[in-house]
Amino acid sequence: MAGGRTRLENRRPPITLSLKAPFVMSHHKPNTVARSFWGLPAMFWAIWVGVLALWVGRFVVPFLSIYLTENLDFTPSTVGIVLAAYGAGGIIASLVAGFLSDRFGRTPVILAGELGAAALILLIPIQDSPAGMTGALFAYGILGHVGGPALNALIVDLVPPTLRERAFSLNALAMNAGFAIGPVIAANLAAVAFWLVFVTQAAVLALTALLLAVVLIPRGVGRRTRVGRPPTMREGYKVVGRDTVFLMFVAAMIAYMTIYAQGTSTLPIAMTNAGFTVAQYSVLLTLNGVLLCVLQIPLIRVFERIASTPIITVGILLTAAGYMVQALAHTWEQYAVAVVLWTIGELGTFPVAAAVVANMAPARYRGLYQGLFGLVFTAGFAVGPLLGGIGLSVLGASTLWWLCALGLGLIAVVVFIVRRGRERRLAQPDLAEDDNFELVPVDASRTRES
């Protein structure tokens, strides 16, 4: 401790935690909340149920390509452009939504995002032109992704650092379970009338938002307390711009997701080109969902005994092994082995990475950090299908899968090599927990003096 500053020993540029004007995000501190189950606050489980409901209701997007081709007779190329607008909206949301939750509070942003998405989704079935559909999906992509960073930041607010890996693993379980249930509901609704899919999702989003409001607002959870000056977006992005440890980690995870996304974008095309049916690929998706739900909880206890870097590195390498098997696969059973491998890799990567980001983020900018980490999914799923489609057309499936495995191997090496700065940050979680601290650059001369 020197000159009122606590220095984090990072390499270029040096970073420290420095006292700033107080800005408080109202939430129940973990040590004052009665534990309801598995050491986690009761409010976390209320949010968990809300996340499950929200993801059960997210069944429009998986059926959009079918709706656009069969109901509106859009060409495949037009469908690709239209769906890209939804992805672009998600990227914009990732860039701004987290900051909005830091500035105005978690709960207002969550409710505005989900209620706005519920309203916008009703505009989709009344569009009949590519231009109108593109605009509707772009707007829906923004509001549909606004609540995610705020929800994640609220989990960070409520859960102490030692339990965040567990919390984000359970959060992933809620999303995976909801996403597995939702398409079954949507398929039955679409069999009656496709407009029911849109109306039902709007109703689920609106009802869940209202229930979250009933739970969160009376208790003041996620409310911004007007103490001191709130952060500005410019200040937040200056902090992020200097945080090379965070930026390198997010870049590595975006690259990982870009390759991982091939399993749901390029793989079905490659399998149908090889003579497999859509039903056979669908069973692989079901296998992926079942494994995610069944293995998530047992692996939590295992992961809590191991440092984050080995877990993430091994997870990426397991995904690489899955793509290697995929490159050699000729039977459905061989593809199933590949799916098992990259599914287990996913279990050891995304929830642990989310906890890493949560524990690295300064309390003042938790929402902003969670929003930028959301680029892993929005940017990865936007870029991945585009690159995969080009690679499949130019190189063929086998060569593409080998390149994916090679890319994943390189990503694992990078994550491991740059681990020191990340682990130094994670070794001092209490510094980032104070709402009055944030990352600022250190003057070189003062650092030497200290």
Half-sphere exposure of 342 (CA within 13 A, CB side): 28
Distance separating alpha carbons of residues 338 and 328, to the nearest angstrom: 10
What's the confidence (pLDDT) of residue 389? 80
Nearest Cα to Cα of residue 102 among 278, 256, 233:
233
Q: Is the pLDDT of residue 33 over 90?
A: no
**pLDDT tens-digit profile of 198-221?**
999 999 999 999 999 998 887 777
**pLDDT tens-digit profile of 342-363?**
999 998 898 899 889 988 888 8
Q: Is the pLDDT of residue 332 over 50?
A: yes
What's the confidence (pLDDT) of residue 11? 39
CB–CB of 246/51 below 8 Å? Answer: no
Nearest Cα to Cα of residue 318 among 259, 270, 399, 268:
259
Q: Is the pLDDT of residue 297 over 90?
A: no
**pLDDT tens-digit profile of 174-187?**
988 887 787 778 77
What's the confidence (pLDDT) of residue 118? 93
